A and B are shown apart, each in its own frame.
Chain A
Amino acid sequence: MSAHLPILQVVVPLLAAPFCLFLKRGRAAWGLAVLASWAALAIALALLGQVMQEGVLSYAIGDWAPPIGIEYRVDVVNAWVLVIVSGIGAVVAPYAMASIEREVEAGRIPLFYAAYLLCLSGLLGITITGDMFNVFVFLEISSLSAYALIALGQARRALTSAFRYLIMGSVGATFIVIGIGLLYVMTGSLNMADLAQLLPEVWDSRTVKVAYGFLAVGFCLKLALFPLHLWLPNAYTYAPSAVTAFMASTATKVAVYMLLRFFLTVFGAPFSFDVMALDRVLLPLALVAIASMSLVAIFQVNVKRLLAYSSVAQIGYMILGLSFATVTGLTATLLHLFNHALMKGALFMAMGCVMYRIGSVHINAMAGLGRRMPWTMAAFVAGGLSLVGVPLTVGFVSKWYLILGALERGWWPVAILVLLTSLLALVYIWRVVEAAYFRDFPGDESTREAPWTLLGPTWALVALNLYFGIDAGRTVEIARQAAEVLMAGIGP
């Protein structure tokens, strides 16, 4: 059975999704979703273990040997991303029960879990496949279900923000498929490993460079790199809380993975950095994203929107690591994929608890909440400290490697900017803390702490934030190995 793990990673949630539609009761669909997402996590962990021991795994779908057939190819890089995505999926699924029952009408709850599992399997599929066209197919599966998930939000604006995301996401996906098509025209292959061998012969052709450009814009739209991030804040603000927690920790991470996979494995680091100057294009965009979006976040009054802008800034950190074009920089990027998923997951889930009890995440509505909902707000503070990068949290580990990478290149101003923008994060987190702990509670006296079904998963993520902040050896080791694999490439 263990030989089939790569395909089961995708098929388990994919097959569970339609069964959710046949279950009329929301709780039954929820149970199935929890089981499927936990199974996905178990498979991802098993795959990571296998890859660390045996090296690259390859699975030929339909017994058609690659490069003719579709190949699922697992190395340290995507095994790592699989663990991140399925891990968040497994934590959000149990959390969703109470949160979704409050925010989504009863008849639609089985539909919600079907879309949730489809989105999960789409994201896992993008990550695991070694076939470029398969990437596009799974991208559409995950995106279409994501639009539906966002549109389930309570506010009417959820519909317009989902529609906006649909337009921008479709433009991004179209650009990606155009790029894939151009590469296919030039090489006659869709298999990534095969392309890595074939592409160096046609590096000089304009078609390949145009394909590179199309792919770059498509990926940057999907991962919401400044200035292509405009779909993100509204989508995260108006989606149901559980959806926001899931999407913020997975969707953009997978887009970053796609960018790394295409530009470093398929095209190869020499082509990306020496010919196309990817690092010099991304560096200014990343810096502007970090600085401007952190500033914008400070002035938000809706805490979910504040965290959404902070997400755009954090994506800037990931891209900044890539733009160093060194192993240390990439290690920081890959570490931050994991670490940011942990902290943003915890923060958005804490906001889901607030939404559950007081029905709003406006900063003024949260006044004095620290005494009413001590555990929820403590989780928010812990996640916030991690976001700022305080020692003993995962945020510190990411920032540490990011600054190491900057110093390695001798880029002092960049290192200082990373430190300064961490202070900006402190400012916007502090605004919430100030409201919650230093203002009087004006609201209803009966407001109580969120139920443990919400607090449990939230605190599980907080605990992981602290655990991997104290004992970062494991995660750093995997991220470094993955970075080395990416930088070395598999070309001739």
Chain B
Amino acid sequence: MREEVIVRVGAKVLAPFIITFGLYVHFHGDYSPGGGFQAGVILAAAIALLALVYGLDAVQKVVTPRFVRACAALGVIIFAGVGVVTMVLGHNYLGYNALAHDPEHGQHYGILGVELGVLVTVFGVMVTVFYLFAGRRRRKQ
């Protein structure tokens, strides 16, 4: 597949749109179906597409295994951190009303925040799993 010009160019063109769509699914998640989990999987799919076409090594130079593993941990920190922030602001854990004067906005920011945590972790774990399976045969040799 690496020699096919159409596939290579197609993947290169598609990848940014896939990533944009992933972010759309995340930020529009509170009005339409979607959310952090789905968005994370879509972002990971963009990485997987590039890895299939350009090879694992090329992609891992840009999106390093260490980076995706850090993402997996970072997402949990974001999620739990939102809760800690609301607690510091004097509300209960994950009481999003603390985040803005208008409770409606507070709920909005809060849910976007925790879903961002979900997005980052799901992206990190999905890509890590993909890397592990994709790199299996190579390590055996």
Chain A residue contacts of B84, Cβ below 8 A: 11, 15
Task: Name which of B19-27, B53-61, B70-78, B131-139 contacts chain A.
Answer: B70-78
Chain B residue contacts of A14, Cβ below 8 A: 76, 80
Is A46 positioned at the interface, with any CB of B under 8 Å from its CB? Answer: no
Which B residue sits closest to A59, measured CB to CB? B92
Verify A63–B97 contact, CB threshold 8 A.
Answer: yes
Verify B92–A17 contact, CB threshold 8 A.
Answer: no
Please classify the interface of chain A as helix (H, G, I), strand (E, B), loop, or mixed, using the class held by over half of its residues: helix
Chain B residue contacts of A410, Cβ below 8 A: none
Verify A18–B74 contact, CB threshold 8 A.
Answer: yes
Chain B residue contacts of A61, Cβ below 8 A: 92-94
Give complex CA distance A19, B77 in Å: 8
Is B35 positioned at the interface, with any CB of A under 8 Å from its CB? Answer: no
A4-B87, A22-B70 given; A11·B93 CB < 8 A: yes
Verify B80–A11 contact, CB threshold 8 A.
Answer: yes
**Which B residues, 48 to 92, have Cβ-Cβ distances below 8 Å to chain A?**
69-70, 72-74, 76-77, 80-81, 83-84, 87, 91-92
How many A-B residue contacts, CB cutoff 8 Å? 48
Which B residue sits closest to A60, measured CB to CB? B92
Chain B interface size band reads: 10 to 19
Give complex CA distance A162, B84 in Å: 34
Is B96 positioned at the interface, with any CB of A under 8 Å from its CB? Answer: yes
Give complex CA distance A11, B86 in Å: 13
Please classify the interface of chain B as helix (H, G, I), strand (E, B), loop, or mixed, using the class held by over half of its residues: helix
Chain A interface size band reads: 10 to 19
The residue that B73 contacts in the complex, of A4, A21, A62, with Cβ under 8 A, is A21
- Smallest CB–CB gap between A467 and chain B, Å? 35
Is A435 positioned at the interface, with any CB of B under 8 Å from its CB? Answer: no
Verify B73–A18 contact, CB threshold 8 A.
Answer: yes
The residue that B92 contacts in the complex, of A15, A18, A63, A114, with Cβ under 8 A, is A63
Chain B residue contacts of A114, Cβ below 8 A: 73
Verify B76–A17 contact, CB threshold 8 A.
Answer: yes
Is B36 positioned at the interface, with any CB of A under 8 Å from its CB? Answer: no
Chain A residue contacts of B91, Cβ below 8 A: 63
Chain A residues in contact with chain B, CB under 8 A? 4, 7, 11, 14-15, 17-19, 21-22, 59-63, 114
Given A7-B92, A17-B76, A114-B73, 10 other A-B residues pairs in contact with their CB atoms under 8 A: A4-B93, A14-B76, A14-B80, A15-B76, A18-B76, A21-B69, A59-B93, A60-B92, A61-B93, A62-B92
Chain B residues in contact with chain A, CB under 8 A? 69-70, 72-74, 76-77, 80-81, 83-84, 87, 91-97
What are some 22 contacts across the A-B interface (CB < 8 A)? Answer: A7-B92, A11-B83, A14-B76, A14-B80, A15-B76, A15-B77, A15-B80, A17-B76, A18-B72, A18-B76, A18-B77, A19-B77, A21-B70, A22-B73, A61-B92, A61-B94, A62-B92, A62-B95, A62-B96, A63-B91, A63-B95, A63-B97
